[in-house]
Each structure stands twice: as structure tokens, then as C-alpha cells.
Amino acid sequence: MTPYIDGHCHLNSPELRGELDRHIDEARSAGVQRMLVVGTDLRTSEEAISISKGYFDSGIRASVGIHPHDASSVSSSLPEELTDLAKDPVVVAIGEIGLDYHYDYSPCKVQRDVMISQILWAEEADLPIVFHVREAFDDFFSILRDYPVDPERAVVHCFSGSLEEAKSCLDLGFYLGFGGMITFKKADGIRECLASCPIDRVILETDSPWLAPVPFRGKINSPLNMPLIYKAAAEVLKVRDSVMADAVWTNGVNFYRWENE
Ligand SMILES: [Zn+2]
Ligand SMILES: [Zn+2]
């Protein structure tokens, strides 16, 4: 059986990091052989790296970056402490970076500036990008016109935009990331986006500890729930479970240049 990949999780979050052995063992027993631990600021990026080093043989890798919520923490320029992290061989992506206008934890202008600096950083580091975009697609696309990212070198994780916005991301050659929300009753719009996404552009993720899939909605999520997300995605795309697993494995391994052991 093709193993599962959790393309985006936060094992470095307070909810999960206290019991890493358990969470990683449970997930691996359920067939989840790769997990990407995502940074959201300097500290969580460092933690993602240290978790990956500690559990390297368990298929854990790291991404480093500043989440739009934390954009104010780096203000005008990215600290060297942060940019140096991309040189670590366990780091397979820059992220999560982007724009989130739903909450104004950091001013929009600062979010845009920090997103741009990180696009340039990813280019220099030759790493793909994990984007987080919420209620900000107009500005997102406008930045990408001025600072283009190569096709197949970005994923818009936990996609929550419209069908039209999904198409625009796909036109740029990006991957779309889907998680527990595709199991939520009222998420027809997101399921429609997934249904319209070619299977070779789909990345699946838990975004744990958040967004636990049904029937665990509202509880603490962990990579263990990945199989439920695969099952839901296979139903939406109307493919066999094995076809879904093969496709997402190939996509994840190619996108994150994750060695195919
Ligand atoms: Zn996110
Ligand atoms: Zn995340």
C-alpha cells in the first residue's frame, strides 16, 4: 500500500509537541510515512528543524517562514537568523508565508512586504513555497504578477478561496492543499474546488492541531487523522483510494523533493 503524506502539520505547536513520540508513532502505524512540520515564526521554524532532526528517520521534514499573522515580528527585513535556517538540509520548503486579511494580527501592508521578501528568499534558497492565503486573493495574485513564482514551486495550503481563485492558482501551475475542511458539512464550496483540481495538483494535509476532520471536528487534530482526509478526497474526486494515495505521494515527493525511499 502506498503510504500517506501529511503535507502540512504543526507538530511544533503547544498542543502536539509535548507528546511527539506518541503522535508520530500513531501516525506511522496508520501509514503516514511523511510529515511536513511547518514554521510560522522564527521560534517555531527552529522547532520544526529540531523535530525533523530528532525524527528524521521517521520521515519528518521542516519548512521555515513567517506566517502573515506574525509578519510584524520581522518588520522591514528578514533577520539573518531566519534566512540561515533555509540552509539546513532537513528544510524542504519556505512557509508558511502569505496574506491573511481575516484577522488583522499584522497590518496588510506589512503582510505584503514580508510575503515579497520571503518569495525572494525562497528563490535564493531554491526551495518551494507553502502559501497561506485567506480572504486576500486579489492582493496575492497582484504580488505574484510582480514577483512571479515558478510553476510547480508553490502550494496554496488549506485552500479556502472561490472556484475562480482556485483556477487562477492552477493557471499559475501551483498545487492546492486540502485538509479536514473537505469533510465539513457546510464546505461544498471547498469540495467543488477540490473536484475541479487535477489530481496531479493535489496536496493533502491535516494542518494539525487545527481543523480536525469529521468525526473529530473541534478536537485536537494530529497527523493520525490523515487517512480520513485521503478517503474524503478520493470521494470528492471520484477515484479509488489507491489512486488517490499514489497521486498524492507522487505530488508530495516531487513538490518537496522528498527522497522517494
Ligand atoms: Zn495556514
Ligand atoms: Zn499551518
Ligand 2 center–CA 38 separation, angstroms? 6
Residue 132 assigned as binding residue: yes
Residue 69 assigned as binding residue: no
Residue 81 assigned as binding residue: no
Asked if residue 164 is part of any domain, the answer here is: yes
pLDDT at 131 > cutoff 90: yes
Average pLDDT, the chain: 96
Ligand 2 center–CA 69 separation, angstroms? 11
Distances (CA, A) of 111 to 70, 78, 220: 8, 13, 28
Ligand 1 center–CA 12 separation, angstroms? 14
The strands making up 175-178's β-sheet, listed across from edge to edge, are 4-9, 32-38, 60-64, 91-100, 129-134, 154-156, 175-178, 202-204
pLDDT of res. 260: 58
Residue 135 assigned as binding residue: no
- Pick 80 or 258 by higher pLDDT: 80
Domains: count for the chain? 1
C-beta separation of 221 from 209 below 8 A? yes
Asked if residue 166 is part of any domain, the answer here is: yes
Nearest listed ligand to the Cα of residue 102: 1
Mean pLDDT across 116-141: 98
Mean pLDDT across 186-201: 98
Asked if residue 167 is part of any domain, the answer here is: yes
**Percentage of the chain exceeding pLDDT 90:** 95
- Residue 8: give the domain boundaries: 4-43+54-255
Asked if residue 260 is part of any domain, the answer here is: no
With cut-offs at 50, 70 and 90, classify the pLDDT of residue 75.
confident
Ligand 2 center–CA 210 separation, angstroms? 8
Ligand 2 center–CA 157 separation, angstroms? 8
Asked if residue 18 is part of any domain, the answer here is: yes
Say what angle helices 188-195 and 226-237 make with each other, to 10 degrees: 70
pLDDT of res. 261: 54
| Separation CA 174–CA 168 (nearest Å) | 9
Asked if residue 109 is part of any domain, the answer here is: yes
Asked if residue 63 is part of any domain, the answer here is: yes
Ligand 1 center–CA 87 separation, angstroms? 23
Span 196-232, pLDDT tens digits:
999 999 999 999 999 999 999 999 999 999 999 999 9
CATH code at 79?
Answer: 3.20.20.140
pLDDT of res. 24: 98
pLDDT of res. 77: 86
Mean pLDDT across 88-117: 95
C-beta separation of 244 from 234 below 8 A? yes
Asked if residue 48 is part of any domain, the answer here is: no
